[in-house]
Every structure is written in C-alpha cells, then in structure tokens.
Amino acid sequence: MNEAVIFEGFSYAYPKTEPVLNEIEFAVPRGSFTVITGPSGAGKSTICRAMAGIVPNYYGGRSAGRVLVDGEDTAGQRIADLTRFVGLVLDDYESQLVSLTVEEEVLFGLYNRGLAPAEALPAMRKALNEVGLTGKEKLRLDELSGGQRQRLAIASVLAYKPDVLVLDEAASALDPEGAESLYRMLDELRRDYNLTVIVVEHELTYVLPYATQMLVLVD
C-alpha cells in the first residue's frame, strides 16, 4: 500500500447542516509532504477530522464513501486506535496542552495509553529530541515561547509514532521565521522517518518549498 490516506467519494454533513464535503476523492502517497489549501469554510478542517476519524465517529452527522488510513476504513474504528496511524495537531494547539511541565506533557498521553515508564520515558525523550526540545524537559509550559509550545504539541503527537502527521493551520500564530523553521523541521521528520506530513495552510509562502503535492479545495 503506497498510499497513507485515501478519500474515496467521501461526502459528509455535520448534524443538522448542509453537506460540507461532496464526493471528495484524493490519495496521499506515503512519505509525501501534502499541502491542503483553499478558502475559509471550504472544509479543510473537516478533512483533517475525517483523517483522524473524529468525523464522523465523534461528530456524528451523515457520511458516504470511505476514508482509508493505512488501507483501513476509519468508519467504526475507535478514535484512540486511529491515533496509532494519524496524529492530529489542531490550529488552537494550546488547547491540546494539559500539563505543568514539558516532560509531563508528553508522558501524559503515553501513560494514558497504558505504557509503562520503561517504554514511555525513552519515547518521550525521542519525541522531544525530534522537535528540538531536548534539555527543556523540566521547564514549565509558561516558560516556553509560543513556537516551543507548538513544538511540544507536535512532540506529544509524535510520541505515539504515527505514520501520518496532520497539522491544521499550524503556522497561523507564528512569525515568518517560526513558520519557516516549523516547515523545515516537518520536512526533516518526513525524510528521517518516512513520516507522511499533511498540512492545511492558506498562507503558502513558507510551506511551498517543502510541498511534494498540493490539494486545492475550490468550493
């Protein structure tokens, strides 16, 4: 299976709303850096949610067609099981942070998944190293810059070793230098671990140099 994610004629409507996605059809090659762009309200966040299985499994509503992740239909799968394949970093990633210190933040999710310290501690150190936060383990979250907190949110997701990392408008709160450095880091992760990176962006300047394919939602 050379595709990490496949949308097969996927349509979706939130409960009590008009359809948001109409027969969406695309494939994301494994190891690609895929940029999804388009106007506000086009359904980009909804596509991210569908890849993580929270649409429709958590939101409810009506869907047709299929979303395959690593060859498996997301329909009916538990969201917690899907996080092994797809890690989602939200645009308000600050709301994803729940702990007092950097190391607690990454360990929180790993312990929640039932990992013993012997597995969780090395996974935490590796994830922090991947995002350049080694040495910051004991810092409180309020001692980090905005860009560092975002890297921490990414590390917390990477710690589960997903095959696919999805970031929804991840650079919106960053200055140009922060955005450039975020995308450079994601591209390095992609190359080093054959990670599939999918980013939703409307400001394309900083991400385009790294994109291997682009999906444009027109309507």
Residues that bind ligand ADP (CB under 6 A): 14, 17, 20, 38, 40-46, 59
CB of 5 to ligand ADP, least distance (A): 16
Amino acid at 145: S
CB of 172 to ligand ADP, least distance (A): 11
Q: Which is nearer to ligand ADP, 41 or 122 (CB)?
A: 41
Q: Which is nearer to ligand ADP, 185 or 217 (CB)?
A: 217
Q: Which is nearer to ligand ADP, 131 or 199 (CB)?
A: 199
CB of 20 to ligand ADP, least distance (A): 4
Q: Which is nearer to ligand ADP, 44 or 149 (CB)?
A: 44
3-state secondary structure at position 62: strand
Q: Give Cα separations from 152 to 100, 136, 184 (angstroms).
A: 12, 10, 16
Q: Which residue is it, tokens 């905005």?
A: 146
CB of 43 to ligand ADP, least distance (A): 4
Q: What is the largest CA-CA distance in the chain?
A: 49
132 Ramachandran zone, left/alpha/beta (phi>0; psi -120 to 50): left
Residue 172 CA to residue 195 CA, distance in Å, equals 22
Residue 83 CA to residue 16 CA, distance in Å, equals 28
Residue 117 CA to residue 187 CA, distance in Å, equals 30
- HSE-up of residue 170 (Cα within 13 Å, Cβ side): 33
Give the pair of three-digit tokens for residue 34: 């895929």
CB of 95 to ligand ADP, least distance (A): 15
Q: Which is nearer to ligand ADP, 42 or 167 (CB)?
A: 42
CB of 7 to ligand ADP, least distance (A): 14
Q: Which is nearer to ligand ADP, 44 or 190 (CB)?
A: 44
Q: Count other C-beta atoms under 10 Å from residue 15's C-beta.
A: 9
Cα–Cα nearest to 200, from 69, 88, 118:
88
